[in-house]
Structure 1
Amino acid sequence: MESGQGQAIFTAECTHSFHFSCISNNVTYGNYVCPVCRAKWNDLPFTVPSYNPNVKDNFNPNPDNQVPQPQVPVRSRSISEREPILFSDDEPLPSVTVDAASSASPADLQNVSVKAIPERPAIASSESVPEFAVLVGIRAPSLSEHIHQFHRAPIDLVTVLDVSGSMHGSKLALLKRAVDFVIDNLGPSDRLSIVSFSTRARRILPLRRMTEQGRENAKRSVNSLSASGSTNIVEALKKGVQVLEERRHQNPVSSIIFLSDGRDTCYHGTRFQTFSSPRQPPQYLHLLPVSICPENRGTEDHSQRQTFPVHAFGFGTDHDPLTMHAISDASGGTFSFLESYEMVQDAFASCIGGLLSVVIQELCLMVRSASHGVEIKSISSGRYASEISNEGSQGLINVGDLYADEEKEFLINLAVPVYRSIEDEEDDSNTTSLLDVTCSYRAIMSNDMIQIDGDLVTIRRPKSPSPLEMTISLEVDRQRNRLSAAQGITEAQQMAETGNLMGARALLSNRRSTLLTSASGQAGDGLCLWLESEMKEMDGRMASMQLYERAGRAYALSNMSSHAYQRATTRGSSVPGAVESGNFSFGASGAAHHGSFNAYATPNMANMVSKSHQLNKTGDSSQTKQ
């Protein structure tokens, strides 16, 4: 009213403004597109009719008026209608019958497997070692095909989708197709909500179960999307979090898939950006909810809010990788870099292949010193929270959810003292117990907390170990190589941000040489070959500052995200799970990617990507025939 000097002004989602009385009359007669740019509107201006309980047609409050009043057909209105103030309208969860949940046989109810491997099998009895590594690994059980829906945790998934003006044309069409693929692969116990954003964010689908009717409603919502306006990342994520925070019912797994092809144009350059460098995540991250950025919690906020992982997808080469990586990293999610628009469906397929196979929750790995004088010095746990307590006698790693067949490996560095035997110091049969390893977790099938005890880790303490006993374990060596490569990429990325591309490339070259001359590298280990190709690819993307800013920065950050959580991410043109074992695919710089390790992809991820490929082939075949 103020800007219209007494007349109400309606500003459409395409940003064009009109006198309310003029445009509402235009819409009343069935014109649902902008008169200026012809963009289709989802939010329509309307006048709230007066309500008369004695009149059957409340859209015509004057029954004596003989002139028929034009009405907006119900089917033409936005699927989402008007957003409620609170998002407590989520669809109730289905009740699972006891017979269905207990249909699994005992053979199907597998436990987490735990392994612990010392750096070498023996230490001389007279020797003290300040840093002796023990590899501790865990592996989740597999999913059985015939009880798949009961064996995994159902999910509440919110997709937060960029529909700003830059997403017009084929990009938006490919995004719609990818979201349709996600919809088709969710089960009736899974629930989906869709938030779209441009200048502002809108929830276009409440949290609904993906039954046959739910899928139909979800696809209609996706089909209604149109591209226009600017990019408001802050409001988009706030709305996605609101869906999860205000729901009445909760599935065991909650997650957000966030895709954008641009930078935030609503907060970027404002007072929130004053102290931020263009090469640092923006200051406006402090505006995001605590449930995706826990560090935003104030000193007086002692609430134990659930954290929702945000799996962020940077679409194309114009997105903001620093911001998207910072958001995903803070929330415990992953950051993927989609260099080609055509790969968005495969990238989504790989991601939901993991999310739809959660079989273990709240997993906690515990290690305890098993002998006096054996002290835990450090734990290499990446971004998983870890702590050492009781003067180095106890360590803890909080892992959380595990996908089916997913593996995590951690190096525990110990200080091992000189061996003292009261009975016989010359006895070559002496041993030292190093670690007790246990893990606890919540099983999806029974919802019970289960504890698994690993084998006691011991080493021999002969007076003079044989050369074979001094040989470094290949599994420990390959894990050291992984940590070295991950650290190298992180340091190279930091150097590149300061403009020191020459130093960054030299660092990567040195790490590659060290890796290839290591014991596991010489043995042709698949992980080592993959790490070497990743660093070679990163080197190629640092050939110039222009190339680095266009494709190297996002590639490095997606790589860092993957190693930090030992979880698959799409990086550049490589989708995890898409390469057959032993084959090669090629990235932007021409470096080969060896598939024998396959970038942390689980079998369920690979199966989902294969399903996406098959669907694409079917679609291409149909178009060719037409």
Structure 2
Amino acid sequence: KSKQRHSNPESFGSIQSGAGDFADDDPIQIIRGQEESKGEPTVGAVDIAAYGVFAFNYLQLSPEKAQEIPCTINLESPAQTSEASRSGVDIVCVIDVSGSMQGEKIQLVQTTLNFMVERLSPADRICLISFSNDATKISRLVQMSPKGKKQLKSMIPRLVASGGTNIVGGLEYGLQALRQRRTINQLSSIILLSDGQDNNGTTVLQRAKATMDSIVIRDDYSVHTFGYGHGHDSTLLNALAEPKNGAFYYVKDEETIATAFANCLGELMSVVADQIEVKLMTQPTEIPFSLSKVYSNSGDTVFTLPPLMSGDKKEAVFLVQFDPTTQRVESGHRIQPICFKLKYRIVSNGNIVEQEYPIWLRVENPEYEEEIVIDSDVLVNFYRMKAADIMKQASKLADRNQFEAAKELLTSGNKELLDSVVASHEIVQALAADLLRSINEYQNAHVWHNEGGKHQMKTRFRNHVDKRGMEMDYYQNSMQKCLAIEAKFAIKKR
């Protein structure tokens, strides 16, 4: 992927302007272990398990009633034994330095950036961009060697707050930094932080999408966005992150900024597979059925999943409805109503893996008496997506100022989870509690629109859908948990 380059590591650029000047990135350092993985078989790089499973160990046929059974597609990766074996990442930080960021806010951002610089390795690179009325390039993509870290830290104080908010200008610079770099790391990401509304807010969403569409970047990248305080545009920031398999984080206070950045950085530092695509396919069987609901980002049978981290599990959830039938089968008969195609990229060597997997289900006649065994993991993930869907529907009601209806929906959802057969599971308990505490965000129009209720629910909803651990440590891997502790300590001692 690397192009020939002629870089002078001594010429650490002064502040530059013009989105056409980003072809000055530092060389990429190949860490021992990464070089050896190039071209190796996929299994040698990372062993990812993929399989599908129904919530019940068998379907008992019924001539009278339809039966809807949850099913999951599961991806699992082993935990990395050494941080030295992880993939390198290019991170473009796009920071709002408008006047409203003055004081504590900009100081916290500077502290967080210093923490990020300290925590990265020579395999990584950071580019720093600021925006207020206009966007400014603070640094090129700098290799996080000891020398590069020192140089970049000397640039961070140049983040000085003044002026308005040109989010689209900052986004354009961030995209150009990725597009114009001469060498490309194994992972790439834009981290964009803002506390306000764009100067031209009425057209900002259309302009932002047009900017992303017009700047074509050959290699895959993610976008993670951070909304600081109550006044930011969470609709815009969420719309930037979601299609690029990134996360939107609502940063409401000092403690939240440490947790948010630690989660984001921990993910980027431990991704083992990305560009994950799933295609569900139905197969003809003698038992009539339909695919009744797919909990996916597209709502369709073809969808993507967030990147898979080291020591991580990702599940796609869907429902299969079996119609009433008088069909008879031999005991132990198995059907394959669903199969799925899976495609993903192994980050360490760039290999693309494509494979098809069947999902089998045993079928028994109505008089069969064996007790049905429930797969609790499938049901827990079903209720995870159910809770997220309830939050999404409640937010739609709140946007129409139907706050009582939103609260009733959350209350009934809480009861449904606590009445379920997996109610005692710690994740279901946490989900039920999350639905209940979310009622606080729907008290009235002022809380929803002006005190962060809307922002909080956008983050909470996406966290549960994507299994990202901003508020739920059940979704965090060991890297994220470790970084969260370190980041909080760095913020406190500043």
TM-score higher than 0.5: yes
- Name the amino acid aligned to 1:142: A
Query: Is residue 89 of structure 1 aligned with residue 61 of structure 2?
Result: no
- Name the amino acid aligned to 1:529: Q
1:99-498 paired onto structure 2 within 5 Å = 101=36, 109-125=45-61, 127=63, 129=66, 131-145=68-82, 148-150=83-85, 152-264=86-198, 266-268=199-201, 273=202, 283-288=203-208, 290=210, 292=212, 294=213, 308-369=221-282, 372-373=285-286, 377-378=291-292, 380-383=294-297, 385=298, 387-388=300-301, 396-399=302-305, 401-416=307-322, 425=328, 427-437=330-340, 439-451=342-354, 456-466=359-369, 468-469=371-372, 472-498=374-400
1:95–1:485 distance in 2 versus 1, CA, 3 Å: closer
Give the fraction of aligned pairs with identical amino acids, expressed as a percent. Answer: 22
Task: Report what 1:70 is aligned to.
Answer: none
- Name the amino acid aligned to 2:28: L
User: Aligned partners of 2:306, 2:436: CA distance in 1, in Å?
Assistant: 32
- Is the CA contact 2:271–2:307 (under 8 Å) kept in the aligned structure 1? yes
User: Aligned partners of 1:110, 1:85: CA distance in 2, in Å?
Assistant: 38
1:367–1:328 distance in 2 versus 1, CA, 3 Å: closer
Task: Report what 1:504 is aligned to.
Answer: 406
Query: Is residue 561 of structure 1 aligned with residue 462 of structure 2?
Result: yes
User: Aligned partners of 2:290, 2:120: CA distance in 1, in Å?
Assistant: 43
User: Aligned partners of 1:426, 1:180: CA distance in 2, in Å?
Assistant: 65
- Name the amino acid aligned to 1:447: G
- Is the CA contact 2:186–2:348 (under 8 Å) kept in the aligned structure 1? no
1:158–1:529 distance in 2 versus 1, CA, 3 Å: same
Residues 36-61 of structure 1 show CA distances to partners (whole Å, capped at 9, x for unaligned) of xxxxxxxxxxxxxxxxxxxxxxxxxx
- The structure with higher relative contact order (CA 8 Å, sep 6+) is 2
- Is the CA contact 1:361–1:402 (under 8 Å) kept in the aligned structure 2? yes
Residues 346-397 of structure 1 show CA distances to partners (whole Å, capped at 9, x for unaligned) of 32112100011111133334554455356662552432x5754xxxxxxx44
Residues 96-121 of structure 1 show CA distances to partners (whole Å, capped at 9, x for unaligned) of 567963599x9985411223221322
Residues 182-237 of structure 1 show CA distances to partners (whole Å, capped at 9, x for unaligned) of 11112112111011111111010111211112111211110222111111112111
User: Aligned partners of 2:333, 2:54: CA distance in 1, in Å?
Assistant: 16
Look up the SS of the partner of 1:410 in the other structure. strand
Match of residue 608, structure 1, among 483, 487, 491? 483
1:377–1:427 distance in 2 versus 1, CA, 3 Å: closer
Look up the SS of the partner of 1:133 in the other structure. strand
Instruction: From the CA coordinates, give the structure whose radius of gyration is larger.
Output: 1
Residues 235-290 of structure 1 show CA distances to partners (whole Å, capped at 9, x for unaligned) of 111111111122222112111111111212x213xxxx2xxxxxxxxx32111255
Residues 107-159 of structure 1 show CA distances to partners (whole Å, capped at 9, x for unaligned) of 985411223221322233565856443222111232122xx333x32111111
Look up the SS of the partner of 2:159 in the other structure. coil
Return 5+ residue gaps in structure 1 as ranges.
1-76, 274-282, 389-395, 578-597, 621-626
Return 5+ residue gaps in structure 2 as ranges.
1-11
- Name the amino acid aligned to 1:286: Q
- Is the CA contact 1:419–1:432 (under 8 Å) kept in the aligned structure 2? no
Shift of 1:554: 0.7
1:207–1:567 distance in 2 versus 1, CA, 3 Å: same
Shift of 1:538: 1.3
User: Aligned partners of 1:429, 1:335: CA distance in 2, in Å?
Assistant: 47
- Is the CA contact 1:380–1:411 (under 8 Å) kept in the aligned structure 2? yes
1:351–1:84 distance in 2 versus 1, CA, 3 Å: closer
User: Aligned partners of 1:400, 1:477: CA distance in 2, in Å?
Assistant: 20
Structure holding more helix per residue = 2
Measured on the aligned residues, the alpha-carbon RMSD in Å equals: 3.3
1:219–1:100 distance in 2 versus 1, CA, 3 Å: same
Farther off after superposition, 407-416 or 506-515: 407-416
Look up the SS of the partner of 2:422 in the other structure. helix
- Name the amino acid aligned to 2:120: L
Task: Report what 1:53 is aligned to.
Answer: none
Residues 481-531 of structure 1 show CA distances to partners (whole Å, capped at 9, x for unaligned) of 22221121111111112222111111111111111111111xx11121111
Matched length: 480
Instruction: Please identify runs of 4+ aligned residues in structure 1 that moved more than 6 A.
Output: 417-421
User: Aligned partners of 1:81, 1:418: CA distance in 2, in Å?
Assistant: 69
Farther off after superposition, 220-229 or 474-483: 474-483
1:305–1:442 distance in 2 versus 1, CA, 3 Å: closer
User: Aligned partners of 2:27, 2:389: CA distance in 1, in Å?
Assistant: 45
User: Aligned partners of 2:254, 2:481: CA distance in 1, in Å?
Assistant: 20
User: Aligned partners of 1:134, 1:99: CA distance in 2, in Å?
Assistant: 36
User: Aligned partners of 1:84, 1:329: CA distance in 2, in Å?
Assistant: 24
User: Aligned partners of 1:508, 1:451: CA distance in 2, in Å?
Assistant: 39
User: Aligned partners of 1:363, 1:331: CA distance in 2, in Å?
Assistant: 12
Shift of 1:605: 0.9
1:545–1:111 distance in 2 versus 1, CA, 3 Å: same
- Name the amino acid aligned to 2:487: S
User: Aligned partners of 1:172, 1:320: CA distance in 2, in Å?
Assistant: 18
1:78–1:416 distance in 2 versus 1, CA, 3 Å: closer
Task: Report what 2:428 is aligned to.
Answer: 528
User: Aligned partners of 1:359, 1:99: CA distance in 2, in Å?
Assistant: 12
Residues 330-361 of structure 1 show CA distances to partners (whole Å, capped at 9, x for unaligned) of 43321111111343233211210001111113
- Name the amino acid aligned to 1:567: R
Task: Report what 1:514 is aligned to.
Answer: 416
Give the TM-score normalised by structure 1.
0.69
Farther off after superposition, 363-372 or 405-414: 363-372
- Is the CA contact 2:90–2:124 (under 8 Å) kept in the aligned structure 1? yes
Give the TM-score normalised by structure 2.
0.86
Task: Report what 1:392 is aligned to.
Answer: none
Shift of 1:601: 1.7
- Name the amino acid aligned to 2:165: T
Shift of 1:80: 2.4
Look up the SS of the partner of 2:442 in the other structure. coil
Look up the SS of the partner of 1:175 in the other structure. helix
